[in-house]
Chain A
Amino acid sequence: MTDRADVPSVLVVDDDPMVLRVLVRVLQHWGRVELTALTDSRAAMEQLASGTVDLLISDLRMPGYSGLSLLDAGREHRPDLPVIIVTGHATQQIEREIQQRNASLLRKPWAREALLAAVEHALQR
């Protein structure tokens, strides 16, 4: 069994339970991360405040807090927190905002390889 300390802790947030489950299934099968999956952005906010998250993967538009709000809150606790924003409708404005915050953008519908590449890249930074 891998030493727990070596396994990055990933917080996955999407208000659509179907999409969230698929994210979790693919990442679980990959097996290199420890996952916390939440549909509620408010609960995600609390989780980020604990400072134990190594990577945030979040949907952009959600009730409560947007992915960008979660990103900002997470960086307050951990300024170098890697973040992947997942969205199906990234406007140029959104793309700019993600880029300015030095986060990654993953477009829906994503392919497994694209998700894993984004996660690997984010964790190596």
Chain B
Amino acid sequence: MADPSDPPTADLSARVGSFIDVLTRFASGDWEARAERDGSGEPMDVLAFMINATVEEIGDLMAQQRRQREELERTQAQLVHAGKLAALGELAGGVAHELNQPLTVLTGLLGLAQCDPDALDDGDLKLMAAATEAMSRIVDGVRLFARRSEMRRADFDPILPMRSAVALVARRVAADGHSLEVVEPDPGGSIVGDQDRMQQVIVNLLVNAADALESKGVEGGRIVVEGRWVEEGFEYCVDDDGVGIAPEDRERIFEPFFTTKEVGKGTGLGLSVSYGIIEDHGGRMTLECKDGPGSRFRVTVPRDGLPKDLDPEGPP
């Protein structure tokens, strides 16, 4: 048996120790760690050479992997940017298209009035008013799109925006010959968020429901709006038995400027803006498949899902 105090054996264990040291340093991130060689060509020197060749190879592979990862990250960042640009382009194209119609009404009738000041009748003036109203609706929608992050943050009873939304839409629903049923939980409890925006979302869903009943062209339709506390927070549900949404349109209804409404009626911004508002509240908005006719939208918001870094006073 070899005696560890024997000089060759002691030298051998010292060399092996140094190799272990090199491999340990390399494993902990010291890519420059190399085994010392004596150039003798003896087995231990050859082993040092092989260790060095191996760590160099591994180092190269890791550097390559690092470069690829960095490149991938850059590509991903570019893709996100391109996605944002595409969305912006789509928005701009949509705005241009939507504004063109009412602008045509205004330029056409203005041209008529310039050539003959007495040419415009009441119907023309009403048309001009409708055109400017359509344009401000589009501009409002875009503004909301741009200011999605500027939300007020406060405690509020989630029943309140539902009630005020119902108050805004009830007259129209009744005038159209339909019923609007409201189901409320017991009062009490609050959520954190922007009450006005929440009202805007519910108004939008109710108006869509009323439009869906109107498109059906039959009186006696029914809208049910329900609010209830659920485990995740609060849930609003708007249900109608109107025309419903075609299966091929279901995936697109939350896209900006996508509308199934007749020309001049919808901006195609309502649902996409609403979707964004609910997303900002940390909640979700879904269209549910239902057995009967019509549509059912469900909005769930957590008790406190709005980012906390918002200015509590809201925008100036």
Residues of A within 8 A of B (CB): 15-19, 21-23, 25-26, 29, 88-89, 108-113, 115
Contact = CB atoms under 8 A, between A and B. Distances in A.
Interface in B66-96: 93, 96
B104 A109 contact: yes
Contacts of B114: 112
B116 interface: yes
Given A16-B101, A29-B116, A88-B100, A21 B127 contact: yes
Nearest to B106: A109
27 contacts: A15-B263, A16-B264, A17-B263, A18-B105, A19-B105, A22-B109, A22-B127, A26-B111, A26-B112, A29-B119, A88-B104, A89-B97, A89-B100, A108-B101, A108-B103, A109-B100, A109-B104, A109-B107, A109-B108, A110-B104, A110-B107, A111-B107, A111-B108, A112-B110, A112-B111, A112-B115, A115-B108
A19 B101 contact: yes
Contacts of B299: none
Among the interface residues B96, B101, B114, B131, which one has the most CB atoms of the partner chain A within 10 A?
A: B101
B193 interface: no
A21 B131 CA distance: 12
B102 interface: yes
B157 interface: no
| CB-CB nearest 8 A-B residue pairs | A112-B111, A88-B100, A22-B108, A109-B103, A109-B104, A109-B107, A16-B263, A108-B104
B153 to A, nearest CB: 40
